[in-house]
Structure 1
Amino acid sequence: RQFHWFSLLAGLLALLLYQRMAYPFLWVDLIYYFKLRGYRKTLQARMQKGIVTYLDCFLYQAKTNPNKPFIIFENRTLTYQVVDRRSNKFANAFRTEGSLKQRDIVALGMFNEPDFICVWLGLCKLGCEVAFLNVNIKAKSLLHCLQSCGAKTLVVGAELVQLVEEVLPALKDNMTVWVVDHTSPSEDFSSLLDKLEHVSGEPLSDPPKVDIMSNFLFIFTSGTTGLSKAARVGHLKAIMSMAFLQMCGATSDDIIYITLPLYHMSASLLGIGGCIHLGATCVLKKKFSASQFWKDCVKHNVTVVQYIGELCRYLVNHPTVPEEKAHSVRLAAGSGLRSDVWMEFVKRFGKVKIREGYGLTEASIGFLNYTDEVGAIGRASYFNKLSMPFQLLRYDPQTYEPVRTDSGRCIQAQIGEAGILVAPLTAMNQFLGYAGNNILSEKKLLRNVFKAGDVYFNTGDLLLHDYRDFLYFRDRIGDTFRWKGENVSTTEVSDVLGLLDFIQEANVYGVTIPGYEGRAGMAAIVLKPAHKLNGTKLYNHVVKTLPAYAWPWFLRIQTSLDVTETFKQQKVKLVQEGFNPDVTQDPLYFLDVSKKDYVYLTLTLYQDIVSGKTHL
C-alpha cells in the first residue's frame, strides 16, 4: 500500500513536471479564464438588478459610495455624489435651455477636467449619444467630424472657442453651440455654467430606457483613407471595457492616475470607466507632463497609472527626479509599450507591475498580457480563444490583403509568422460601423473567410503568435501609422501637402527611428515643373493645418512617385529605405522646428537623429 501511494505521488510529480515544461503558463491561463468568467457573472448579476449601462454603473457607485472621492483634479476633490448632482444639473440645463432629448447627437470638445465627465454623464442621463472631439484638430477636421457624426449640438471648453469661430460660417444655423463657461464670447455661443445656478441637482423624473445593443458614443479614429472616422461604440462594448483595470489587478482601494486625453477610448472607457466599475478614485491631469508625473504620484499617493507606450518613453528619457523612487505605484496598465522601454521602466522606477493590453475602438476584440513576459500584448491559449475567438490571416506583403486559396478562402498565418488580426462578428463582438460612411464600414469586414457566409472584422493590425502562445503587436497595415500615441492618416496628410502651389504629388508614410515609439511621418514629394521646394512656406502650412503628431518630419524629393499596377502609391520600398542619405540619391530634408523650416538632411544630421542627439 505504501508503495502504491509512493507510485501515485511519483506519477503526480512527473505530471506536474511535464506540465511545467510543456505548458508552463497553464495555471495562469486558467486563472485568467476563470477571472474573466467571474466578471461576466458579476455583469449578469448586476444586469438583473437593472445595472445595464456605463451610466447605471456610475449611479450604482454614487448610491453605494456617495462620499468616496471620485475625481481629484489639481486642488479639487469631487466625490461620486458631487459628480452625480453636478451632472444632474447639466442634464436639467440641457433639457430646459437646449431642449435636448434621447438619441440626439451631441459633439463634446474639452480638455481633461472634471466638467468633461460631468457634462458627458449629464448628456447620458438625457439619453443623448455623445461624440468626443480630439482637441488637437484643425478647422477642416472639426467640420468633417461634426458632419460625419450628424451632431446638431456642440459643447466646447473655453479654450476651443477660437477653433469653433473659424468654422461657424460653414455651420450656418444648423448647430447649437454651448461653451462651458459663465459668459459667452458672442451671440453665436450659449454659456452653460451660469445656467447651472438656476436648475435643480435632482435626478430627471423620467430617465430614458436604454437598449444595451444600441449606440452609446462616437469616438473618432484616424481613417486609413482621408479624415478621421466616427466609430460607433455600443453600450455593450462600453460595459465590457470597464473591466480592464480590474482584470489588470486594480481594486476599489486604488488611486488611479489618468493623464491620457479623455476623448480617447483608453482614458474615458478603460480609465474612468475602470475607476467607476471598481468604485476607485481617479487623479485626473489636464495634460501629461513628464516632469510632474512622479511628483503627482507622490502627492496623491497614486497606486495605479494608465499609460500609452509613448508616455513611458518620455518618462524613461526624462532626467532623474527624487520622487521616481519615493512613489507607491504598484501597477501600470496600458498599451503600446516597446520591450526596451518596458525593461528600462521596470529597472528604473521600482517594483511596478506592467499590464500591457491591446484593444480597438470599433470592436470588442482585445488582449491582456497577465504574465510578466516583456513585450507581449497577450496570450493566444486555448482558454483565451474560448472567451475571445480570433484568427491571424496570411497576407500579401505588397497589397496587405489576406491571401486566398483557389476556392476563395483565407489562410491562417503559421506560428511565428505575422498575420492580420481578424475576429468573427458575434453578439459579444459587435461592429456598429462608422457614422455616415457605409463604404468604409463595409471595407472593415471580410466575408467568406473560412466558410461561405461567415463575417470577420478586419483590425488592420499585424500580430504574431509565437510557439509559446504569446501574442506580439507587429505593425499597422495600409495607410495609417502611429506617432505620439495617435493614429496618423497618410491620405489626410497627402491631401494637405497637395494644397501647396509647388507640390505636384505627395506620398506619405511612417518611418521608424531608434528609441521612438511608432513611426515618424515622412513624405516623398514630386515638385511641379519649374518650382523649387519652399521649406518655410511648407513648415507654416503644415503647422497651420495639421496637428503636431501628423507633421511630416522628413521629405524625400523625387522626380516621379512609384505606383503599383493599379496606380496605388508604392510605400513598401520607401518605408524600408527610410531617411538614410546613404541609401538614396534623392535629396532629403528634415523639419527643424527651431528654424521654422525644412533643412537639408546631411549624414551628420542623420546620425544625430538616430543617436538621439537631435530630438523630434
Structure 2
Amino acid sequence: MSTSFSIGQRAALVAVASLSGYALFRRKYPNLTTDVRYFLSLAKGGKLLEKYNKANLFILDFFEEHARKQPNHPCILFENETYTYGEVAANVNRTARWVLGSDPSLMKGDAVCVLLHNGPTIVWTWLGLQKKGIISSMINFNLKGQALLHCIKASYSKHIIFGSEFLDSILDIVDALRDLNIGLWMVNDACIPDLVTPEDVVTMEISTMSGEHLPTVPITSPEDVATFIFTSGTTGMPKPVNIPHYKITGACVFSYIHVGLTPSDVYYVALPMYHSSALLIAVTGSLFSGATIAIAKKFSASRFWDDVRRFRVSVFQYIGEVCRYLLAQPRKENDGQYPRPVKAVGNGLRPDVWREFKERFKIAPILEFYASTEGNFSFFNSDDHVGSVGRYSWILRKMLDRVEIVDCDYETGKPKRNSNGMCVRLPPGSSGLMLFQITEKSAFVGYHGSEEMTNKKIVRDVKRQGDAYFNTGDLIKIDVDNYVYFIDRLGDTFRWKGENISTMEVSQVLGLFPVVLEANVYGVPVKGHDGRAGMASIVLHKGANLDFSALYQHITTSLPDYARPKFLRLLDEMDLTSTFKHKKTELMKRGFAPDGYGEVYIIDPSKKTYVPINPYHVKVLTAGHSKL
C-alpha cells in the first residue's frame, strides 16, 4: 500500500521537519545568534586591522584625518575647558616641534618618560612624541623615590617630561637622573607662578611653537613600538610592556566594533591615563572614531555622575573597585537620570556588584572584557551576561583554537605535565590556568629590555611539542555553556589544609554582607600548619557597625571551613594601587599580630563569632599550638 502526498502536504511536512530541526539545533546551541554575531564582528575587526596595517595607517593618521574633516568638533572636555580637534592637532604639532628643537639628537625609537596627570596635556604630549617616532614611557604619577627611579631607568629614556606638580618628586632623585644624563623637561600644567627650578630643569613652552601641520616620521612596520605601559607591580617591580602600533590600532578597532563609538559619543575617562584601559581603550578608541573625550583629573565617586550629566557622557570606563565605590555613595533622586543612554566599558566588575550597579544607575549595557597590557588575546562580554568576561564558543574554538585551560601547581604557578610532558588540559567547568597560543597573528611582544622576564611568561609544549603559549597568570573557568569567568590571579590564590583558596571567591562572599564596603583577602603563615590561613582586611560602609556573630553566620553558611577567613583586620580605608587593585604584600607581612594598624579579630567557632585577638591568642599561634 502506498501513500501519496500533494505538493502542499509535502511542503508542509518539509516546513514542520525544518522547524523541528531548527528547534532541536537551537536547544543544543541556545546562544547561536550571539556567537555568530560575535564571530562576525571579530572577523570584521580582523579585516579592518589587516587593512590598516598593510596601508601603514595608525592612530595619528586617524586622529589627523578627523582634525581635517571636523576641526571644530570637540575633542577634549576638561573641567571648564573645551579643545577642538583642530586645537588638539595644533598642540600635537607644537609639542613635536618643541621636543625636536630642544634635542635634535633624538631619533626614532628613542624613549622619553611622561609623568603627567590626566588632562589635555598628556594627550597631545603622547601624540606629539609619536609624531617624531619617539616612544612614550607612561609613568605612574603616584610613584616616588626608588620606585620612580626604577621605572625611568627601565625605560632607557633620554628625557622625562613631567608636570610641575611632580617637581618635588623629581628633585628627590635629581642626582641620580643627572648621573644617568636624563634631560628634565617640565610642563607648568598647574600654572604655579614664580616657580623656582634648578638650572637643568627646562620648562616646555610649546605655545611659542607653530601649530602648522608637521609631517609624521614614517612608521616602518606595525611592529614598531609606540609606547611603554608598565605592569601594575603587584608582583615585583613594575615592568615596561612593549606596545607596538598594531596593538593600539587593534584597541581602536575593538572600541569601534564592540563599543560602537561614533563622533557623537562622549567618552568619560576618570582612570589614570598611564594605564592601558584608559589610554588604549578609551582615549585612542575615541580619537580613532572622532568622538569626544571627557577627562577627569582623577576619579571621584562623589563627582562621577555629576560629570556624566554635565558632559553629556554616553560611555564611561571602569576598572576594579570603581563600581563598588560608586554604589557606596548615598542614594540621590537623580541616580540613573542622564541626558542620554550610558554604556559602561571595563573589567573587574564582580558579580556581587553587577546587578545592583546596573539597576540603580540604569546602565545599558555593561560591556565587560578580559585583557591584559601584555596579553595577546582577549574576551568581550557582548550580551551583558552577569559576571562573565565573554564567551569561548564552539565557533571560536573551531576557527581560532587559541585558548587552553590547564591544571597547575598553585604554589609555583607552573602548569602540571602528563606522562608525555604536555600540559594537563581541564574539561569545561573546571577552574585552571588560562593560556593563549602565540602565533604570527597573535604575537606576544613582551617587556622592554628584559628577555628573561619575557621568556618567563611563555609556556612551551602545551598541546604538542614546540608550541608556545602566553601565560596569563590568571585562574579562569569556562563553563559548559561556554561563558568565561575570571576566578582569581594565580599569585593571589593560596592553599590551606590541602585546598586551594580563591581570594576572589571569599571577597565576593564578604562583599555580600550588608555593611561591608570592600574586602581584601589573602593568606598568612601560621606556625604548625602547612599553607596559609585566610585573612581578610575589611572596610565598612561609613557609619556602619559590624555584627561579628551575624558575619560568622554569613560566612559559615556560604563557605566551607577551609575557605573561611580565620582572621579579620578592620580598616578605615583600603590601601590600593593607582588602578584600584588591592595591595596585599604589606598586609601579608603584617600577619595576624595586632600592631595598631586597624583592629584584628580571630575566628572563635565555640562562640560562633569573631573575637578581638589578644596576647594569649598570639602566644598560642606563634608557638604552633593553634587548632585553626
Q: What band does the TM-score fall into relative to the shorter chain?
A: 0.7 to 0.9
SS of 2:335's partner is helix
Q: Verify: 1:311 aligned to 2:314, yes or no.
A: no
Shift in alpha-carbon separation, 1:432–1:43, aligned structure 2, 3 A: closer
Which of 507, 516, 538 is equivalent to 1:512? 507
Which residue matches 2:87? 82
Distance 2:252 2:120 in 1: 19
Deviations 1:274-333 (A, max 9, x none): 112221111111111111111111112111111114111111111112332321233111
Deviations 1:331-365 (A, max 9, x none): 11111111121100111112521111010101231
Residue identity matched to 2:421: G
Shift in alpha-carbon separation, 1:39–1:314, aligned structure 2, 3 A: same
Contact 1:365/1:388 (<8 A) preserved: no
Which of 373, 377, 398 is equivalent to 1:361? 373
Which of 216, 228, 232 is equivalent to 1:222? 232
Which of 53, 60, 63 is equivalent to 2:68? 63
Which residue matches 1:546? none
Q: Verify: 1:464 aligned to 2:423, yes or no.
A: no
TM-score, structure 2 normalization: 0.79
Which residue matches 2:621? none
SS of 2:418's partner is coil
Which segment drifts farther, 196-205 or 91-100? 196-205
Deviations 1:526-569 (A, max 9, x none): xxxxxxxxxxxxxxxxxxxxxxxxxxxxxx8x6x697xxxxxxx
Distance 1:294 1:360 in 2: 27
Distance 1:157 1:331 in 2: 32
Contact 1:363/1:429 (<8 A) preserved: no
Shift in alpha-carbon separation, 1:517–1:377, aligned structure 2, 3 A: farther
Q: Verify: 1:442 aligned to 2:455, yes or no.
A: yes
Q: Verify: 1:341 aligned to 2:343, yes or no.
A: no
Which residue matches 2:581? none
Which of 177, 183, 197 is equivalent to 2:184? 177
Q: How many residues align?
A: 538
SS of 1:135's partner is coil
How far 1:479 moved relative to its partner?
Answer: 6.1
Which residue matches 1:37? 43
SS of 1:130's partner is strand
Contact 1:243/1:270 (<8 A) preserved: no
Which segment drifts farther, 22-31 or 313-322? 313-322
SS of 1:77's partner is strand
Deviations 1:433-455 (A, max 9, x none): 21232222111011111212111
Q: Verify: 1:397 aligned to 2:410, yes or no.
A: yes
Distance 1:11 1:324 in 2: 51
Residue identity matched to 1:96: G
How far 1:20 moved relative to its partner?
Answer: 2.5
Shift in alpha-carbon separation, 1:189–1:345, aligned structure 2, 3 A: farther
SS of 1:186's partner is coil
SS of 1:324's partner is coil
Deviations 1:77-100 (A, max 9, x none): 111121111010000000001333
Gaps of 5+ in 1: 482-508, 525-555, 563-569, 610-616
TM-score, structure 1 normalization: 0.80
Distance 1:320 1:224 in 2: 33
Shift in alpha-carbon separation, 1:60–1:40, aligned structure 2, 3 A: farther
Which residue matches 1:209? 219
How far 1:67 moved relative to its partner?
Answer: 2.0
How far 1:399 moved relative to its partner?
Answer: 3.0
Which residue matches 1:236? 246
Distance 2:122 2:401 in 1: 32
Residue identity matched to 2:329: H
Distance 1:132 1:604 in 2: 44
Shift in alpha-carbon separation, 1:210–1:202, aligned structure 2, 3 A: farther
Distance 2:242 2:214 in 1: 26
Contact 1:294/1:323 (<8 A) preserved: no
Contact 1:298/1:323 (<8 A) preserved: no
How far 1:597 moved relative to its partner?
Answer: 4.2
The structure that has the greater radius of gyration is: 2
Query: Map of 1:379-390 to 2, 5 A cutoff?
Result: 379-385=391-397, 386-387=399-400, 389-390=402-403
Contact 1:591/1:599 (<8 A) preserved: yes
How far 1:249 moved relative to its partner?
Answer: 3.4
Q: Cα RMSD (Å) of the superposition?
A: 3.1
How far 1:392 moved relative to its partner?
Answer: 1.1
Which residue matches 2:584? none
Residue identity matched to 1:227: M
Distance 2:567 2:469 in 1: 43
How far 1:126 moved relative to its partner?
Answer: 0.9
Query: Map of 1:235-254 to 2, 5 A cutoff?
Result: 235-252=245-262, 253-254=264-265
Distance 1:335 1:372 in 2: 12
Which residue matches 1:156? 162
Residue identity matched to 2:452: I
